[in-house]
């Protein structure tokens, strides 16, 4: 069902398989070319250490865009098509990948079902999501916590690391 509304969307993109930057560039171009997207902004790229089963360093970036006439689930399907077109396979959970496109925020929407959780359930724990996002959307609000992206990053950075 189309609703003719435009939503501010925050995405996190990452790649840990070479050519990492090329995969990010192609994914951004594919997102820009979607008929339902406009006002695409990208953060600078951050190189981060792998987590989970991944072995290679990641390049991460944030992307904001305006999405009209798509539900979050419809947009997710388009993001999965972009990932698949770039050779993304889901064989190892949190493993290396050519491209990862995560929906972090969809306006002020909260979505929780078997296929999608928005806001992204781990965003407040991941500096590789928050640091790039703060560069292009510092004042965007997490509708669950009521905190801005920059406040979430400040809170994360204030937590002492247990070594």
| CATH number of 69's domain | 3.30.70.560
Residues linked to residue 162 through DSSP beta bridges, in sequence order: none
Dump pLDDT digits (tens) for 58-87: 999 999 999 998 999 999 999 999 999 998
The dihedral region occupied by 53, where left means phi > 0, alpha psi between -120 and 50, and beta the remainder, is alpha
Query: Residue 146: inside a domain, yes or no?
Result: no
What is the phi/psi pair of residue 138, to 5°?
Answer: -65, -30
Residue-level pLDDT at 163 = 47
Query: Residue 15: inside a domain, yes or no?
Result: yes
Task: Identify the burial level of 3 via C-beta atoms within 10 angstroms of its C-beta, where 0-12 means exposed, 13-18 middle and 19 or more buried.
Answer: exposed
> Tens digit of pLDDT per residue, the chain (163 long)?
455 689 999 999 999 999 999 999 999 999 999 999 999 999 999 999 988 877 999 999 999 999 998 999 999 999 999 999 998 876 666 678 999 999 999 999 999 999 999 999 999 999 999 999 999 999 999 999 999 999 999 999 987 655 4
Residue numbers of the domain that contains 65: 6-121
Dump pLDDT digits (tens) for 24-34: 999 999 999 99
Q: Which two tokens stand for residue 97?
A: 């990948």
Residue-level pLDDT at 1 = 45
Query: Residue 99: inside a domain, yes or no?
Result: yes
Number of domains in the chain: 1
Residues classed as catalytic:
88, 97, 100, 102
Tracing tokens 């929780």 back to the chain, one arrives at 112
Query: Residue 35: inside a domain, yes or no?
Result: yes
CA dihedral over 9, 14, 18, 19, signed as positive or negative: positive
Q: What is the DSSP letter of 99?
A: -
């Amino acid at each position: 069902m189309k609703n003719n509304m435009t939503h501010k969307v925050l995405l996190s993109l990452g790649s840990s398989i070479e050519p990492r930057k090329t995969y990010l560039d192609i994914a951004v171009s594919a997102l820009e070319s979607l008929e339902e997207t406009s006002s695409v902004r990208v953060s600078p790229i951050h190189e981060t250490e792998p987590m989970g089963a991944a072995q290679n360093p990641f390049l991460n970036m944030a992307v904001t865009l305006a999405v009209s006439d798509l539900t979050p689930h419809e947009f997710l399907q388009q993001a999965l098509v972009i990932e698949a077109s770039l050779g993304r396979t889901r064989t190892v959970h949190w493993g290396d990948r050519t491209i990862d496109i995560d929906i972090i925020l969809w306006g002020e929407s909260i979505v929780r079902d078997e296929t999608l959780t928005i806001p992204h359930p781990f965003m407040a724990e991941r500096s590789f999501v928050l640091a790039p996002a703060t560069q292009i959307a510092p004042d965007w609000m997490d509708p669950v916590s009521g905190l801005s992206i920059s406040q979430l990053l400040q809170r994360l950075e204030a937590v002492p690391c247990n070594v």
